[in-house]
Amino acid sequence: MAELRDINAVVFDVLGTLVDEPRGLRTALREAVPASDDATIDELLTVWQRHVEREQQRIGQGQRAYANSETIDGEAAQRVADHVGLTDPAAIARLATAGQRLPPWDDSVAGLERLAQRFPVLGLSNASRTALLRLNAHAGLRWHQALSAETVLAYKPAPQIYQLAIDTAGCPPHRVLMVAAHAWDLRGAQARGMRTAYVHRPVGDPPTNSDVFDRRFNGLDELVTALTEEG
């Protein structure tokens, strides 16, 4: 198990790692379509998530010009509305901002506060600058700096996004720790030379047997304790 010495900055993925994205989206979907049962809500969540994933992939493959998360979420909200016959413009508009009202995991706020007493802490998200600002305020996340992939007009795992975090941290990549609940995200950071820590979340993308990350943790408390004791 690798030690976490010589870390000068800690970078966190946000969506899924620090906030429970599926739960927040389900809440917004129930608000928009209150008569729906759980199975319908799950179906609508799948419609939303597949659209977002597909469009981000198309942008990454050069099949579509960059569009920020607010635009893509607006498209996802319209797809959901079309799926269930929702026609109220105000309800659709509010649904489009669901990604700005996601609840934090129970250990996220306190964990960030503890860690920020010892290290520069950054957020690194695919959310647009405006969406990230509002999400951070809603969830009570406190950073030294929050970075949006919109700055480089790309989506993770594009390498320029991790380079943005490295450049902002102002230190060599091997002194920057990327923390995420998604193995695909950590692979992208690893490819740029960053250190990596996987944090388990129920909605994350767990590592495979071939993944070799610096550390793996069951939650943020374990991560913070390890960093403050070893760092």
Asked if 103 contacts 73 with a C-beta cutoff of 8 angstroms, the reply is no
Beta strands 215-217; 9-13: pairing state:
unpaired
Residues 187 and 76 in one domain: no
Residue 76, token pair as written in the block: 């996802």
Residues 111-160 pLDDT 10s: 999 999 999 999 999 999 999 999 999 999 989 999 999 999 999 999 99
Q: What is the pLDDT of residue 131?
A: 97
Residues in the chain: 231
Rounded CA gap, 141 and 125, in Å? 13
Residues 90 and 121 in one domain: no
Q: Is the pLDDT of residue 55 over 80?
A: yes
Stretch (H or E) spanning 73 = helix 69-84
Residues 37 and 16 in one domain: no
Rounded CA gap, 71 and 77, in Å? 10
Q: Per the domain annotation, does 204 fall within a domain? A: yes
- Residue 220 sits in a domain whose CATH number is 3.40.50.1000
Q: 154 lies in which domain range?
A: 9-20+102-230
Residues 42 and 136 in one domain: no
Residues 152 and 88 in one domain: no
Q: Per the domain annotation, does 153 fall within a domain? A: yes
Q: Is the pLDDT of residue 4 over 90?
A: no
Unique residue bearing structure tokens 């010589």: 6
Final residue before a domain boundary, out of 71, 100, 129: 100
Residue 220, token pair as written in the block: 């943020």
Mean pLDDT of the chain: 96
Q: Per the domain annotation, does 50 fall within a domain? A: yes
Mean pLDDT of 44-61: 97
Q: Which residues does 35 contact at the CB level (< 8 Å), separation at least 6?
A: none
**Beta bridge mates, 128:** none
Q: What percent of the chain has pLDDT over 90?
A: 94
Rounded CA gap, 201 and 16, in Å? 7
Confidence of residue 230 (pLDDT cuts 50, 70, 90): confident
Residues 193 and 163 in one domain: yes
Q: What is the pLDDT of residue 68?
A: 98
Asked if 141 contacts 112 with a C-beta cutoff of 8 angstroms, the reply is yes
**Beta bridge mates, 104:** 19
Residues 112 and 202 in one domain: yes
Confidence of residue 231 (pLDDT cuts 50, 70, 90): low
180 SS3 class: strand
- Residue 67 sits in a domain whose CATH number is 1.10.150
Q: Is the pLDDT of residue 197 over 90?
A: yes
Cα 178 to chain center, whole Å?
12
Q: What is the pLDDT of residue 228?
A: 86
**Beta bridge mates, 176:** 9
CB neighbours (10 Å) of residue 170? 11
DSSP state for residue 209 in the 8-state scheme: T
State the total domains in the chain.
Answer: 2
Final residue before a domain boundary, out of 85, 100, 115: 100
Mean pLDDT of 61-76: 98
Q: Per the domain annotation, does 3 fall within a domain? A: no
Confidence of residue 19 (pLDDT cuts 50, 70, 90): very high
Q: What is the pLDDT of residue 2?
A: 65
Q: Per the domain annotation, does 176 fall within a domain? A: yes
Q: What is the pLDDT of residue 31?
A: 97
Q: Is the pLDDT of residue 23 over 70?
A: yes
Asked if 152 contacts 173 with a C-beta cutoff of 8 angstroms, the reply is no
Q: What percent of the chain has pLDDT over 70?
A: 99
Could you tell me the strand order of the sheet in which 9-13 lies?
Answer: 145-148, 121-125, 9-13, 176-180, 195-199, 215-217
